Structure 1
Amino acid sequence: MLGAIAGDIIGSIHEHGPPAPPGTPLIDPRSFVTDDSILTLATMEALLEGEDYARAYQRAWERYPDAGWGGMFRRWASQGGGEPYNSFGNGSAMRVSPVALWYTQRDQALEGAERSAAVTHNHPEGVKGAQAVVDAIHRAFAGQDGADILGQVARDYSYPIEPSLAALQESSRYNETCQGTVPAALQIACQTESFDECMTTCLALDADTDTLACIAGGIAEARWGVPEWAIDLIRERLNGEQWDLVQSFYRTTGKPVNRWQINESEQT
């Protein structure tokens, strides 16, 4: 989804860096698309084509071998995308947002999240992370407010939540696991009041920043939509084939996000 892709791009230049100071611009000419966006797009493609997730993800690596892949995923993809490797890394959660848009029924969406995760991240925490993100997005699209979403998802998935965003920022440490990233993304997306604030808060943490912002961005999109400046940023960073895929996915699902619509001139 566009919120996830925007978050990935915004966070890309802050990964492995110190928390961004207040006032850091969300748009930076150095920002770029990482494997988070590439696999989010691959999830879209798998859903549109009715294709196996494993093949879609392995093909994404073939197309974009220099996208900053994690070591375990790279080995898996380079060996033909075979058996899953029992990962609980946050990769299952960062690529899953299109599943929430594709399935209108919550139970189907949760099953879809499990299938998308399990081709690589078949560890229970890897599956849980993907399902928690899809659950939060589904609840946001249904109109639940942030406090209700956070409370319900945190209880259902046994995720600890810090007392406040300030406490979360103070306690944050770089972490590439689902259990270290998904709770923070949920809290940020549910306790901020706009897409911009959500992104700014993500950058202020000591975290796997592009993935944190990617996950939070998918939930933020369902709450508020994606602002025009973020859509413009995405269109500047994606190539033509990738943008065409995004357009096709949103037209097929029939769910405008706020909120926003692809220009009719682009649909003809």
Structure 2
Amino acid sequence: MNASRPDRTRRVANAARALHGLALGDAFGQQWFFYRGTEATERQARRIAPEAELWHWTDDTAMALSVLRILHLRDDVDQDALAAHFAASYTADPHRGYGPSMHGVLRAIHEGEPWREVTRRQFEGQGSWGNGAAMRVAPLGAWHADEDLSHVAAEAERSAATTHAHPEAAAGAVAVAIAAALATRGRDEPAQDPVAFLTEVARHTPESDVASGIRTAARLPAGSSVRNAVSVLGNGTRISAPDTVPFALWTAAHHLDALDDALWETARGMGDVDTTCAITAGVVASRTGSADIHSSWLTAREPVPGWVDTGGATSAGRT
């Protein structure tokens, strides 16, 4: 890609599409924790939207907002600033569904402990390989879409390291960021074949269980059911990057031109459904935006800050 810095207005618009999609997927997916068994299956089969008047988003969106805020202010990932923003956002609103380990990580960072030490001591020194680094990163991929994909991957790894020290978590973040970058680049072209799309994502993902899972997703027979895909790829039940990212990218790859279809198919996989829907929608919306989504969904989704669309152009947004 062009070595010069891309136009800022274009960056802001690209990332905003991803963020709005991610927040919609997160909020939509979160609603399915209130429906179980036959009721959830029947509503999804008939495409009956959740009944809640307000679909709250979770830590997936809260942390994605932190990533985007730092990109607006720095263009690239400033790890110290990002870790501090994560911790401050958590402290201001800790009831967004953060995972048990993340409560400890973000409290410790907020209290002044160096983030590198905090993240590296998780899980007996292995670091977390959870899906948190992947769930929040689609806006970063869209932001850097006009740059070389090696830069997208490097920035995704840097964003992951602030909370997740395990290589699998970093690989999950890279895969989602690459997918969002590819989706953004292809906005004015016919959608890539799902196999080609997934193969390209895997090619830029560090060798890992995540990359292996994405290659497996690319090999699933055309017409495979969601149930079959979940049985092979997982659905986030283990809250790990390898158990989450391949399935979310499989549904995204098969619905690159239809955000609503992508969300319904991903929700049918259940599991960690807010996170799988957030990942899928962040990628697909990088290409489609949210214009074709029913207005009632957009009204129901909890709003996101106005600076998402402006890039913090106002003095208030720069605070």
Q: Could you state the TM-score of these two structures normalised by the residue count of structure 1? A: 0.83
Aligned residues: 250
Q: 2:270 aligns with which of 201, 206, 209?
A: 206
Distance 2:132 2:41 in 1: 23
Instruction: Kindly state the Cα deviation for residue 234 of structure 1 after the two structures are TM-superposed.
Output: 4.8
Contact 1:235/1:243, CA 8 A, preserved across alignment? no
Structure 1 residues 72 and 115, CA gap change in structure 2 (3 angstroms): same
Equivalence for 2:14: none
Equivalence for 1:23: 46
Equivalence for 1:256: none
Distance 1:97 1:121 in 2: 17
Q: 1:98 aligns with which of 111, 120, 139?
A: 139
Structure 1 residues 64 and 199, CA gap change in structure 2 (3 angstroms): same
Contact 1:137/1:222, CA 8 A, preserved across alignment? yes
Contact 1:3/1:217, CA 8 A, preserved across alignment? yes
Q: 1:218 aligns with which of 266, 282, 286?
A: 282
Equivalence for 1:158: 212
Contact 1:15/1:207, CA 8 A, preserved across alignment? no
Equivalence for 1:123: 166
Task: For structure 2, list consecutive stretches of 5 or more residues without a partner in the other structure.
Answer: 1-18, 205-210, 315-319
Distance 1:109 1:234 in 2: 29
Distance 2:33 2:108 in 1: 27
Q: 2:71 aligns with which of 43, 47, 68?
A: 47
Q: 2:27 aligns with which of 2, 9, 22?
A: 9
Equivalence for 2:254: 191
Q: 1:149 aligns with which of 193, 197, 220?
A: 197
- Structure of larger gyration radius: 2
Equivalence for 1:68: 97
Contact 2:24/2:301, CA 8 A, preserved across alignment? no
Q: RMSD value over aligned CA atoms?
A: 2.5
Deviates more, 1:221-230 or 1:2-11: 221-230
Contact 2:307/2:313, CA 8 A, preserved across alignment? no
Letter in 1 for 2:225: L
Letter in 1 for 2:200: Q
Instruction: Kindly state the Cα deviation for residue 230 of structure 1 after the two structures are TM-superposed.
Output: 6.0
Instruction: Kindly state the Cα deviation for residue 169 of structure 1 after the two structures are TM-superposed.
Output: 4.4
Contact 1:140/1:222, CA 8 A, preserved across alignment? yes
Equivalence for 2:129: 88
Instruction: Kindly state the Cα deviation for residue 237 of structure 1 after the two structures are TM-superposed.
Output: 4.0
Instruction: Kindly state the Cα deviation for residue 202 of structure 1 after the two structures are TM-superposed.
Output: 1.0
Q: Deviations over 1:74-101 (max 9, x none)?
A: 1111112532131111100001111112
Identity %: 26
Q: 1:59 aligns with which of 77, 88, 105?
A: 88
Letter in 2 for 1:145: Q
Q: Deviations over 1:23-66 (max 9, x none)?
A: 24345325311111111111111211235211111111012111
Deviates more, 1:16-25 or 1:94-103: 16-25
Q: Could you state the TM-score of these two structures normalised by the residue count of structure 2? A: 0.71
